């Protein structure tokens, strides 16, 4: 099975000069765990919800919030994003993707075109879902 069959094509992206407040709002609004970061339409990095919350104060939005806490929200995304990316193209198979996840200990795999522009993304959760559905289908065929 090809990656293109299961990758998410509806990409939510940030620009490298966007601030962490924008990233925080996107994570909260869309309930996602990875955001691709672009520089002139090319993939420049990835920011995860874990990256974000590791850099923010737990007091943001509470009565204990300090001016320093809210200042952290103005940091630029490029300061905390992952730059050393593992990517693939949409012709890759799910088995090839699984090997990349395993070998590189990553949680998402950006899918890029020849111009290094993102065309999709797949996460380890997507891989688990495909494996579970294939297993359930196999069980149903065995029980029929």
List of domains in the chain: 3-143 (3.10.580.10)
Q: Long-range contacts for 104-110 (Cβ within 8 Å, ≥24 apart)?
A: 107/33, 107/34, 107/48, 108/33, 108/34, 108/46, 108/48, 109/3, 110/36, 110/43, 110/46, 110/85
58-72, 78-92, 118-132: least confident range: 58-72
The mean pLDDT of 41-49, rounded to a whole number, is 97
pLDDT of residue 57: 83
130 burial via Cβ count (<10 Å: 0-12, 13-18, 19+)? middle
The mean pLDDT of 76-93, rounded to a whole number, is 96
- CA 104, distance to chain mean position in Å, is 15
The mean pLDDT of 107-132, rounded to a whole number, is 95
pTM for the predicted model, two decimal places: 0.89
Q: Residue 21 pLDDT > 90, yes or no?
A: yes
Question: Mean pLDDT score of the chain, rounded to an integer?
Answer: 93
């Amino acid at each position: 099975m090809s990656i293109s069959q299961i990758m998410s094509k509806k990409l939510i992206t940030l620009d490298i000069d966007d601030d962490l407040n924008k990233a925080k709002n996107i994570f909260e609004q869309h309930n996602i765990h990875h955001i691709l970061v672009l520089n002139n339409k090319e993939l420049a990095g990835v920011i995860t919800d874990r990256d974000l919350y590791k850099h923010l104060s737990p007091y943001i939005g509470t009565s204990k919030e300090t001016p320093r806490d809210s200042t952290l929200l103005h940091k630029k995304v490029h300061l905390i994003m992952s730059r050393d990316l593992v990517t693939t193209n949409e012709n890759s198979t799910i088995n090839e993707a699984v090997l990349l996840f395993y070998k590189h200990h990553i949680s998402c795999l950006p899918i890029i075109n020849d111009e290094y522009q993102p065309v999709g993304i797949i996460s380890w959760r997507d891989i688990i879902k495909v494996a579970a559905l294939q297993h359930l289908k196999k069980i149903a065929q065995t029980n029929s």
